[in-house]
Structure 1
Amino acid sequence: MRDFSQDHRWLSINTATVRKQQGAEVPLARIIEQCAERGIRAISPWRDQVAAAGLERTARQLRSHGMALSGYCRGGFYPAADAAGLRAALDDNRRAIDEAKALNAACLVLVVGSLPGALDEARHGKPHYTDLARARSEVFDGIAASLEYARQVGMPLAMEPLHPMQAADRACINTLEQALDICDALDPGQTGALGVALDVYHVWWDPKLAAQIARAGQARLLAYHVCDWRLPTRDLLSDRAMMGDGVIELRKIRQWVEAAGFAGYAEVEIFSALDWWQRSGAQTLAACMQRYGSVV
């Protein structure tokens, strides 16, 4: 297993970790500068941040710092209430693939979606339908369609299985096994075009995790995200802990991941409305760097 205590060359910061600092939204350009000032050489930005900053401007800034993208957040959200919605999702994913390519991202991360309308505030948590099998079928068909275009432009797609607590609203693919079954069906040759983004927050609990990581292997493990599971968890979405402040066996999981052949970035992704988003970017990035070397 790689020794992260000697340097932070394999540290990446998902920009959600520091997009809010002391309660205020921080522009992507400033986040990039904060990372560059500390010698952090990889990030994973979100599409809305890139849109606000400008795609070409962001690409130029990244190039000027020699900064890589461990991933690009995010595509997906395929299920829809009707045919027009399904087409719109495919069109949006095509744009996401183009953006990821323009930024030279290692992969486009897919949060695949689930019951359509569940996140629509105007619907008060009432989805258009509750047929989870239908949602999973639409996810499969959507990824198949996106994969065809992604192959043409050379942008790998990385499904991110989410914790079952988000099965109704954000992702109906909830285990690594489910994600790999889709990979095997759509990319049986393991070409590198389709794989997974493994986020420890979502999969640490899975009794099949070690076996499924070994099954994934180097060809399927496209991204690796770290944080920690806080006890008690105060919010299902935005109460992730800094690495070392929770119960996830981080070193054990990384050992499995690297034994399977993964040698890429450890990407810190922390949604923390009650803690880290209330601190300065300097505090948060310093903690990320220290914990990356000591507990990841």
Structure 2
Amino acid sequence: MSGQAELSKLSLNQITTENWSLSEAIDGCERNEVPWISIWRHKLAEYGVKETAAHLKQSGIKVSSLCRGGMFPAATQEERDKRIEDNKRAIEEAAEINTDTLVLVCGPSPDKDLVQARKHVQEGIEAIIPYAEQHGVKLGIEPLHPMYAADRSVINTLGQANSLVQYYNSKQVGVVVDVFHVWWDPQLAQEIEAAKGSILGFHVSDWKVPMLDMFKGRAMMGDGVIDLNGMRTQVEAAGYHGPIEVEIINQEIWDRPGDEVLQQMKERYTKHV
């Protein structure tokens, strides 16, 4: 086993403290000495982009990413065009809060045609690359576990995400490696290596057995079966040395006091990542 991850890279993905407002999350990071935060757009809309940017500047907390863009497939061209415009707004927001990474959760199929839905994803990303370049924002394609193919994303393996990156051949597009979504993949080591130079984010949580809730089933690091330290070592070998986001969607964790969660998060990150 290699050494543990540095606390200077630790980022709170704010879905981990879903009951906190964005203002509370920034203050919580400052109070608990968590140097980075990943911001969700619904929280950003509640607080305001300008207010968020000012609060971040005052606190010294840095933004690892904005979540989320994507959701490209839709039944009509009109709706697909609306989604492209929404992604452009997300790019603008990312630039305004001083993060260079917009995470793309690519979206499910509107019907049973997965091949067509994946084509919509490809076309949607292609349409926003020039806008992302103008604003200095990179687009991180995050593959989601296959169990989410029906309702969240038709991009389900790191191999699929890598293929899209290779197709665009643009420095604006890369991949986000989330351990919860990709740990099971027999081709994972090869695909992390294939993503060398294009990894834009690394997210950690754990996979606890049994999983009682598909959506809110993520566990605190160390409570499950994922080799977090081993995967972190692999992404670093592939050139990623940026922030490491703790992204845990779990009602039990949401119901706990945020400061308590952040303290446990730091302890488990130090021990297991």
- TM-score bin (small chain): over 0.9
Deviations 1:220-248 (A, max 9, x none): 10000000001000111112100000000
C-alpha deviation, 1:106, in angstroms: 2.9
C-alpha deviation, 1:283, in angstroms: 1.4
In 2, the alpha carbon distance for the partners of 1:3 and 1:226 equals 13
In 1, the alpha carbon distance for the partners of 2:65 and 2:3 equals 21
Give the stretch that moved more between structures: 258-267 or 197-206.
258-267
Tell me the residue number matched to 2:232. 254
C-alpha deviation, 1:212, in angstroms: 0.6
Which segments of 5 or more consecutive residues in structure 2 lack a partner in the other structure? none
C-alpha deviation, 1:2, in angstroms: 5.5
213, 216, 234: which one aligns with 1:235: 213
Tell me the residue number matched to 1:40. 34
Which segments of 5 or more consecutive residues in structure 1 lack a partner in the other structure? 21-25, 117-128
TM-score (norm 1): 0.90
Q: Which amino acid aligns with 1:149?
A: Y
Tell me the residue number matched to 1:8. 7
62, 71, 77: which one aligns with 1:68: 62
Tell me the residue number matched to 1:279. 256
Q: Which amino acid aligns with 1:237?
A: F
Tell me the residue number matched to 1:220. 198
Instruction: Give the conservation status (yes or no) of the 8 Å contact 1:109–1:159.
Output: yes
Instruction: Give the conservation status (yes or no) of the 8 Å contact 2:32–2:259.
Output: no
After superposition, the Cα gap between the structure-2 partners of 1:53 and 1:176, relative to the gap in structure 1 and judged at 3 Å, is same
Q: Which amino acid aligns with 2:84?
A: L
Deviations 1:136-159 (A, max 9, x none): 000000000011211121100000
- SS of the equivalent of 2:195 reads helix
Tell me the residue number matched to 2:158. 176
Instruction: Give the conservation status (yes or no) of the 8 Å contact 2:73–2:80.
Output: yes
In 1, the alpha carbon distance for the partners of 2:200 and 2:261 equals 25
Q: Does 1:141 align with 2:135?
A: no
- SS of the equivalent of 1:70 reads strand
Amino-acid identity (%): 43
Q: Which amino acid aligns with 1:16?
A: I
Q: Which amino acid aligns with 1:282?
A: D
C-alpha deviation, 1:168, in angstroms: 1.4
Aligned pair count?
272
In 2, the alpha carbon distance for the partners of 1:12 and 1:207 equals 28
Tell me the residue number matched to 2:272. 295
In 1, the alpha carbon distance for the partners of 2:62 and 2:264 equals 21
Q: Which amino acid aligns with 2:61?
A: M
C-alpha deviation, 1:3, in angstroms: 3.7
TM-score (norm 2): 0.97
